[in-house]
Chains A and B, each alone.
Chain A
Amino acid sequence: MERRVVVTGLGVISPIGTGKDKFWHNLIQGKSGIDIIKSFDTTGHRTHRGAEVKDFNPEDYLDKEKITRFGEASVFAICATKMAIEDAKLNLTSLDKERIGIGLGTTSGEIQVFENILETCLNNSFDSLNKEQFLKQPSCTISANVAIEFGFAGPNTIITTACSAGNYAIGFGFDKIRNGQADIMITGGVDVFSKMGFVGFNRMLAVDPEDCRPFSKNRKGLVVGEGCATLILEELKHALLRKKDIYAEVLGYGLSCDAFHITRPHPKGTSQAILNCLKKTKLKTGDIDYISAHGTGTSVNDHIETIAIKKVFNQRARQIPISSIKSMVGHAMGAASSFEAVSCCLAIKHAIIPPTINFEQPDPDCDLDYVPNNSRKLNIKVAISNSFAFGGNNACVALAKL
């Protein structure tokens, strides 16, 4: 009998709200978190808007000393984990901490610490290198800090597959519970706003100066964002014994690699991730009720993703609603597919799918149903969530109503 994996808790720190309730409310209202960037001066930059976290106060969750001691991404991760643990109603004193682990995903880790170190050292010299700053910098401190905060002694990793890292983390957590190495896995994705990312994507002309318009004809690119979402994965029987409400079941996931280009996606690799997900979970194309798209809003991703979906689903592709919440949340990099998984869990629970907002002009190359502008009631039995990262790191996760 295979061990089944369910989602029992959610934690969210996002550009459209802190906490899963605010996040969900804004998602289905079609509210955007994209605004003028406030955390640094964008004079001289090509664009000026981004999706920053606005209403999050870390002191609501952590004492000041820890906030200073940890990097910004660690603070996000610990706080979102706290929220998820509370949401899951986990009684930590009665649980075996050796059976609880952490799997997180990120693109740039503690990038703000890194940028601060370089700013100081490049302007002065490496003589001014601050030991405390350097010790905060490695990405592994993020997953380590979460484990240390709660005393979790189970499997522990940080996966750095960029924009698909959140889905890889869910896959990691799923595997650990499935093969009996853990009973509970805190999974999630985190990225803090990266100046380097903002500059880099802009230099590649991949950033839309105004908004994120996935699948629209007038789309001009992604909008750089940040945030953290955590999902508590738990073994089914363990959750039922606790009489815990369950959001959704994680049926499984599929991976693939384009092996094509360092930035451009390819329909073969991207469709293969979806196919591998269906194969591993023994789902048929007819079983899928909703697709949460990678949908970054770049000209190339949205086109290739549409081709990939058609390749997998053939005629059925036109009947499946597809939405990209990046239209509202922006592109939170390593946290993106975690936000999308949270959104799928809530969509399954509430039987409503969030829209793709800013959908103004249909693109003949993107001619599927993208749930334009307004959320829609839909009873979802199975949803899949796509993520296709730079370098062709693809991951697709399947979530189902229990």
Chain B
Amino acid sequence: MKHTDRIVITGLGIISPIGIGKEEFSRSLFEGKSGLKEIDFKNLSKNSHKNKKAYLVRDFKPEDYLTKDKFYDTDRLIQMSLCAAKLAIDDAKIDLSQEAANTGVILATAGALNSAVDFFRDFNRGGPHYVEPKQFPNTLDNAVASRISIAFGLSLMNESLGDYFLGGHRAIAEAFDFIKQNKGAIILAGGVNEITSESYSAYSSCGFLAGLNGPEICVPFDRKRNGFILGEGACFVVMETEESVLRRGANIYAQILGYAESFDPFGLWRFNPEATGAKRAIQKVLYNSTVDPEEIDYISSSASSHLDGDLMETKAIKTSFNHRAKTIPVSAIKSIIGETISASGAFQVASSALSLKINTIPPTINYEQTDPECDLGYVSNKSGKLSIRRTLVNGFGFTGHNIAMVLGKV
């Protein structure tokens, strides 16, 4: 492959529970500053009384980043996404007057919950004629990505994915494949998640959240882990070929060498204790990217403080790296930003790109008690300085989807 065909990350757009914009995000991430906050939702279900925390985005004002005409008639989910897109475009120094027709959007979102609930509430209360017509388009999953293209004139292509926990990872994988086929393309790839009182009540009722069977803490790999804690935010990475970068004069964070995916048909809402799909994803990505396991210097794990999930990831890493498994540094950024579902893959890739750039590994915070079964080299509580050549980014969800990606220094 020609040098100039390599696919690289040239911009980051971040609205997160630990900061708005990549500078604030990066500072908080490497300092291990947690984004966990007390929730203040009204109308929560009574059975969620044990859950009081989430990784929330606070102090976010769209008018700080966008002119009013860009977010007219939009909800908070769309506003977070629009602002993250703007930040990404600025960070990548995309000159829209030249590049808008070369730029596309691939976004993962789990649905426009607030708009859909409001729409249905009006319908339920007053009947079909009571609903505001302008509300309807915002209730569709593809409204968010479409609004970004409309706001910034990005007309190359536009795609929305509903792959939930793996959505952000899949969006980046799709962008990777698209750019391979369309070498002049610039793609904003990422995900967005918003926590609403309804979604919070729902996750709590399902028993997924920490705090129901133990302390309400997000402690990936820790013996005390008893569930994840929800997070929200929007994150885009800008991807293009090196040739495109040279032509435009932009900066490179890192390259994406490849990805691999494997679905594990073990069953929904469960993690396969054999880690079959997860192992396969790691093995395939190393093979596809022609990267030897010895070359991986750091692993960004998707561990979310889930009892079975964190164990499954540990097993997958052990099998894939054998004797090296216990010495490769591993961190779980969900300890800092929470489980952001469709945005999580994008946050993982963004943080890994930053790690590669500054040779620093973010910590897994709150880690105190070792679980003898989860005994890898977790970078706990303080970030670690390390020269990183290649990073493995894992995405293992409990709907059976598994992705692994390799990022590297350019």
A and B are partners in one complex rather than unrelated chains: yes
A residues adjacent to B (C-beta < 8 A): 44-46, 97-98, 101-102, 106-109, 114-115, 118-119, 121-123, 125-127, 129, 131, 134-135, 138-141, 144-145, 147-148, 150-162, 168, 175, 179, 195-196, 199-205, 255-263, 268-269, 272, 389-393
Q: Which residues of B contact A144 (CB under 8 A)?
A: 263, 268, 399-401
Q: Which residues of A contact B145 (CB under 8 A)?
A: 391, 393
Q: Which residues of A contact B128 (CB under 8 A)?
A: 44-46, 199, 202-203
Q: Is the CB of B117 within 8 A of A118?
A: yes
Other than the given A126-B205, A147-B265, A263-B137, 8 more pairs (CB < 8 A) read: A44-B129, A108-B140, A122-B121, A135-B269, A200-B119, A259-B158, A262-B146, A392-B155
Q: Is the CB of A256 within 8 A of B155?
A: yes
Whether B277 is near chain A, meaning CB under 8 Å from some CB there, is yes
Q: Is the CB of B120 within 8 A of A196?
A: yes
Nearest A residue (CB) for B132: A203
Q: Which residues of A contact B137 (CB under 8 A)?
A: 200, 262-263, 390-391
Closest 5 CB pairs of A and B: A391-B146, A200-B136, A139-B162, A126-B45, A257-B158
Identify 20 residue pairs between A and B in the complex whose beta-carbon atoms are under 8 Å apart, listed by A's number.
A45-B128, A107-B142, A126-B43, A126-B198, A129-B45, A138-B110, A140-B164, A140-B165, A144-B401, A147-B265, A148-B268, A159-B161, A162-B142, A195-B123, A196-B123, A200-B137, A256-B157, A257-B156, A259-B100, A393-B142
Q: Is the CB of B120 within 8 A of A152?
A: no
State in angstroms the CA–CA spacing of A107 and B138 once bound together: 12
Whether B149 is near chain A, meaning CB under 8 Å from some CB there, is yes
State in angstroms the CA–CA spacing of A391 and B154 once bound together: 12
Min distance, Cβ B339 to any Cβ of chain A, angstroms: 14
Q: Is the CB of B146 within 8 A of A393?
A: yes
Q: A107-B140, A115-B120 given as contacts; is B164 within 8 A of A138 (CB)? A: yes
State in angstroms the CA–CA spacing of A123 and B121 once bound together: 10
State in angstroms the CA–CA spacing of A334 and B131 once bound together: 23
Interface size on B, residues (CB 8 A): 80
Most chain B CB within 10 A, of A150, A168, A255, is at A255
Q: A44-B129, A98-B280 given as contacts; is B120 within 8 A of A118 (CB)? A: yes
Whether B262 is near chain A, meaning CB under 8 Å from some CB there, is yes
Q: A127-B45, A160-B142, A257-B154 given as contacts; is B133 within 8 A of A204 (CB)? A: yes
Most chain B CB within 10 A, of A107, A115, A159, A205, is at A159
Whether B264 is near chain A, meaning CB under 8 Å from some CB there, is yes
Q: Is the CB of A258 within 8 A of B44?
A: no
Q: Is the CB of A126 within 8 A of B201?
A: yes
Whether B261 is near chain A, meaning CB under 8 Å from some CB there, is yes
Q: A131-B205, A134-B205 given as contacts; is B121 within 8 A of A153 (CB)? A: no
Q: A135-B268, A144-B400, A260-B150 given as contacts; is B263 within 8 A of A160 (CB)? A: no
Q: A135-B268, A159-B161 given as contacts; is B280 within 8 A of A153 (CB)? A: yes
Q: Which residues of B contact A393 (CB under 8 A)?
A: 142, 145-146, 158-160
Q: Which residues of B contact A131 (CB under 8 A)?
A: 205-207
Per-residue CB contact flags for chain B residues 204-228 toward chain A (1 = under 8 Å, else 0) read 0111000000000000000000000
Min distance, Cβ A48 to any Cβ of chain B, angstroms: 11
Q: Which residues of B contact A115 (CB under 8 A)?
A: 120
Nearest B residue (CB) for A105: B162
Q: Is the CB of B150 within 8 A of A151?
A: no
Q: Is the CB of B401 within 8 A of A161?
A: no
State in angstroms the CA–CA spacing of A201 and B136 once bound together: 8
Whether B86 is near chain A, meaning CB under 8 Å from some CB there, is no
